[in-house]
Structure 1
Amino acid sequence: MINRWAAAGSASAGALGVAGLTCAVAGSAASAYVSESGVPGAPHAGLYQASMILLAASLALLALPGRRACVLIGASLTLAAPLAALSGVVHCSPGCPLPPYETPAPRDLVHAAAAIGALLLCALAILLYSLRPPPLRWTGLVGVVIAYPPLLLSAGGILFAGRSLFTGMTERAALIGVSAWVVLTAIHHARRDRADAEIAIGARDPRADSARDPRP
């Protein structure tokens, strides 16, 4: 029961977080980093921070059913949650300078390390899901398809291109892919736990046995 409600809460918080983050970033230049929408003075900085906290809550809630699937999945999502929240609370400097092409301030490094750490841990959780038996394996394989390519391209853009349209677009695609995977996985857990609960109730209900018994 707890896992089912946690999964449902994760899906709801994740969906709200994605919607809020989309609105917060919508007016920014495509070549800008997503984090620039959270800089004080940005039009929707408060919405950006609230959305990141919602996404962090979604990861923390998903860790509960994820832990039942695999201890390492639960651990990776549990660690990713506070890092995601930290990346929202600790804003970067205007322009979000990142090495190797720009000179960052200490808070820029904290913000970037938290964001990258959260994404890497989510990527690990996706990989671990893909190694589980079906039907959990399918959620991991979906994550590999929709999240891994933009994550790799975004990392390459930051390292080899710096601030650019390519980096900005692949970063957005990576966040969308990971967030979509979190919501889809949470929905899967909620539906699966509900089905398991219904089967368990049916097995305990003597009326179910009598309904299946054809004898008068």
Structure 2
Amino acid sequence: MDGTEGTPRRIAAAFAAVCLAAGVGAVTVAVVAGPGPGLAGYVSESGITDSGYAAAYQIGIFSVAAALLLLAGALPAGLRAASGLLGVGAVATVVSGAVTCSEGCPLPPFEAATVADLVHGGASIVGAGAVVLAMLALLFAPAADRGLRRIAAYGAALALPVAGVVALALLLVGRGALLGLSERVLLAVAAVWGLVTAGYLAVRSFTADGPSIPARAGSNVSRR
């Protein structure tokens, strides 16, 4: 990776980490300080119109979407599948933040849902699922280096079982402590993975822009 390629990717990775940390912080404040039902409810309930922390929630969600888009741009050019999945996750996250659910964020098959509830819930599921799939895409991508694959392996190992619990709880149990807790764990794993990946890309790009290229150039000259 030369300087012209590495610098924009390094900047994108650094900004991705900042946006993700700020977004997660804002959403956490909205969830903890808001009047929601605690672990028995969804994170999205902090963003309903009647919530006093709806603005903080939406700002946080849009910051997370920006972080996913920046992270997609920070990945090396050969990792198009992972970048595309992160881009899908960013778009779905924007839709999730823009379309708020009604009180309780009801979802079928256990509750009657409005169109907005379905759009919001579907976008949230697609966004989280795209991030988990991006982990798998990096894990099995030949173009990914060992560091990216290792981070993705840890992330996927934690996220996949929890995602399975979320899916089963949505279909078989419905709204409650199991679903609320597993949703929070899944989001936390995705956030930590994103932060670690962004930090790794920023540091790796900085190293790649350093003395390694002149050293190779000097070695070629010495051979001549």
Q: Are 1:66 and 2:72 an aligned pair?
A: no
* Equivalent residues in 2 for 1:187-206, closer than 5 Å: 187-200=199-212, 202-203=214-215
Match of 2:3 in 1: none
Shift of 1:69: 4.3
Match of 1:162 in 2: 174
Q: Deviations over 1:3-27 (max 9, x none)?
A: 0000000011001111111111114
- The AA in structure 1 aligned to 2:28 is T
Match of 1:122 in 2: 131
Q: What SS does structure 1 have at the residue aligned with 2:41?
A: coil
Q: TM-score, normalised by structure 1?
A: 0.90
- The AA in structure 1 aligned to 2:148 is L
Shift of 1:65: 2.2
- The AA in structure 2 aligned to 1:165 is A
Q: Are 1:79 and 2:88 an aligned pair?
A: yes
Q: Deviations over 1:42-74 (max 9, x none)?
A: 131110000000000000000012252411111
**CA pair 69-12 structure 1, distance change in 2 beyond 3 A:** farther
Match of 1:15 in 2: 21
Where structure 1 has 5 or more consecutive residues not aligned to the other structure, the ranges are none
Q: Are 1:99 and 2:108 an aligned pair?
A: yes
Match of 1:182 in 2: 194
Q: Distance in 2 between matches of 1:155 and 1:24?
A: 24
**CA pair 134-92 structure 1, distance change in 2 beyond 3 A:** same
8 A Cα contact 1:67 1:75, kept in partner = no
Q: Are 1:172 and 2:184 an aligned pair?
A: yes
8 A Cα contact 1:67 1:73, kept in partner = no
Match of 1:52 in 2: 61
Shift of 1:97: 0.6
- The AA in structure 1 aligned to 2:21 is A
Q: Distance in 2 between matches of 1:204 and 1:142?
A: 33
Shift of 1:199: 3.1
Shift of 1:80: 1.2
Where structure 2 has 5 or more consecutive residues not aligned to the other structure, the ranges are 1-6
- The AA in structure 2 aligned to 1:194 is F
Relative contact order, higher structure (CA 8 A, sep 6+) = 2
Q: What SS does structure 1 have at the residue aligned with 2:57?
A: helix
Aligned CA-pair RMSD: 1.8
Q: Are 1:25 and 2:31 an aligned pair?
A: yes
Moved more, 139-148 or 51-60: 139-148
Identity, in percent, stands at: 34
Shift of 1:145: 2.5
Q: TM-score, normalised by structure 2?
A: 0.87
Match of 2:11 among 5, 19, 38: 5
